[in-house]
Each structure stands twice: as structure tokens, then as C-alpha cells.
């Protein structure tokens, strides 16, 4: 079974530029999560989708971050415009269904550096 | 509030036992987890414990939960150099968390010396 795929693996941009990350979850997984992991910290949930609907986006900085999951499969996370403090690893995870009993499987992450 | 705390570093010798500790604040959490992160890789679920248990053993891993003190620990027996990684404790708080949102600690970097 293929794991969660993410691209690109690395991205370097200047502040005020835009950037987009892509995630392909495990086939058949209804729930998709985007986490932000700042260096030296644990991951923090940004947004959670159940199929193509948003379950939780309370921690997403909506003035600059947006995410979508068209057709309930792949997802993109966008930052526009980027700030220095957005430098982090962006992790995508998926689970079969939502809920605390479901194992979340993580992708390798996209490492973003904002200069 | 939701907060998970871990010590930042642990160094052990190969063959010794490692104990990684974690404290959490949300007493409503039903599940508590341990994840492992190797350099350049995503997080891998190691084990989890349901809140009505106080111990769970899985091969070299033993999880202890003290719900009264909100303290969780992960013991790795016979630690190997391949166990060197960052270990994250996480909780799944309630109420309202039907989606399974995880709250992570800041991670403990385990260094295993030969």
C-alpha cells in the first residue's frame, strides 16, 4: 500500500511570495490533515478535511493560508503572501475515517524556508 | 486548555532502557499516543493507549499512564542505535474533537550511543 505522498519536498521562497504544497493521501482514506511543524516544536494542526468538507480550520491563519480538497482526494495548501515565520515543515496526514481511534499516517513533509 | 510537555533530550547507551516522559493537561483525552520521527521523515505511530488502561506492552515498548497525575511514559527496552530519533507524545482531546485532532508535545530527541 502506497503511503501519503507530498510534493515538493523542499521549497525556498522570499517573503511576500506565494507557495503551494500538494498532498495525495492513502487510497480510500476519507480524512486528510495538514500540520505545521516549526523547528524544535511538535506538529500543530492547521486544517482537517472529511472527504471534501472542512471539519476543523480553527488554527489556520485564514488571511494568508488557504487549503482545498477537491473531489475528496488530493489536497493543496497555499500560502499567500508568505512571512518569515511560515518557515516550517508542512506535514500531510490521512486516516481511514476521522476520530481518535483512527491511526493517522503521515507523509514525509514539505520543508519551507522563507527568506 | 490543551498542552503537552516533554523533556527535550535523552541520551542512553546501546542495550540500556530508555524512558521518555510526557505530561498533558486535558483530562478528557481518550487516547494518548507515541510517535517517532526520524530525520527527513514523517511521523510514524509507535503505539497508543486508551485512557482506561494504565499499562500497555508491545514487544520492546511499554507505555505507562498515570491518569491522576496526567503523566505518560514510554519505555524502550534494549535500546538500539536505530532507535535514535525524536519521540512525540500526543493527546486526542475531547469534547468536540470528533475529527481526531492531535495535540503534540515538542518532542524528545533520543540519542543512543554505541
pLDDT in tens, B12-54: 999 999 999 999 987 777 789 999 999 878 899 999 998 888 9
- Enumerate chain B positions whose Cβ falls within 8 A of a Cβ in A: 4, 30-31, 40-45, 88, 90, 92, 94, 97-102, 104-107
CA distance A108 to B15: 29
Residue of A nearest to B9 (CA): A40
pLDDT tens sequence across B77-93: 999 999 999 999 998 87
User: What share of chain A has pLDDT > 70, as a percent?
Assistant: 98
Q: Would you call B9 helix, strand, or coil by DSSP? A: strand
Residue A7 φ/ψ region, left for φ over 0, alpha for ψ in the -120 to 50 degree band, beta for the rest: beta
CA distance A104 to B7: 24
CA distance A10 to A12: 7
Cis (ω within 30 of 0) for the bond into B59?
A: no
pLDDT tens sequence across A62-106: 999 999 998 889 999 999 999 999 999 999 999 988 776 778 899
Please check whether residue A19 is in contact with residue A82, taking contact to mean a CB–CB distance below 8 angstroms: yes
CA distance B111 to B13: 8
Phi, psi of A2 (to 5 degrees): -70, 150
The confidence score (pLDDT) of residue B97 equals 52
CA distance B18 to B80: 10
CA B21 to chain centre: 7
> Do B31 and A102 make contact, defined as CB atoms within 8 angstroms?
no
Amino acid at each position: 500500500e502506497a503511503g501519503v505522498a507530498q510534493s515538493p519536498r523542499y521549497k525556498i521562497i522570499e517573503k511576500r511570495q506565494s507557495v503551494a504544497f500538494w498532498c495525495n493521501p492513502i487510497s480510500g482514506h476519507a480524512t486528510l490533515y495538514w500540520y505545521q511543524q516549526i523547528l524544535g516544536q511538535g506538529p500543530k494542526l492547521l486544517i482537517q478535511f472529511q472527504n471534501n468538507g472542512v471539519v476543523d480550520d480553527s488554527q489556520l491563519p485564514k488571511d494568508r493560508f488557504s487549503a482545498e480538497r477537491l473531489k475528496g482526494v488530493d489536497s493543496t495548501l497555499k500560502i499567500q503572501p508568505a512571512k518569515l515565520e511560515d518557515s516550517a515543515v508542512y506535514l500531510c496526514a490521512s486516516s481511514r475515517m476521522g476520530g481518535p481511534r483512527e491511526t493517522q499516517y503521515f507523509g514525509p513533509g514539505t520543508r519551507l524556508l522563507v527568506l | 486548555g490543551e498542552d503537552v510537555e516533554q523533556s527535550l533530550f535523552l541520551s542512553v547507551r546501546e542495550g540500556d532502557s530508555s524512558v521518555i516522559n510526557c505530561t498533558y493537561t486535558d483530562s478528557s483525552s481518550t487516547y494518548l499516543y507515541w510517535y517517532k520521527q526520524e530525520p527527513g521523515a514523517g511521523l510514524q505511530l509507535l503505539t497508543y493507549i486508551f485512557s482506561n488502561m494504565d499499562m500497555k506492552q508491545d514487544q520492546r515498548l511499554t507505555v505507562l499512564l498515570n491518569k491522576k497525575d496526567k503523566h505518560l511514559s514510554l519505555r524502550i527496552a534494549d535500546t538500539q542505535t536505530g532507535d535514535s530519533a525524536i519521540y512525540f507524545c500526543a493527546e486526542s482531546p475531547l469534547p468536540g474533537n470528533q475529527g481526531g485532532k492531535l495535540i503534540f508535545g515538542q518532542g524528545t530527541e533520543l540519542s543512543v550511543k554505541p
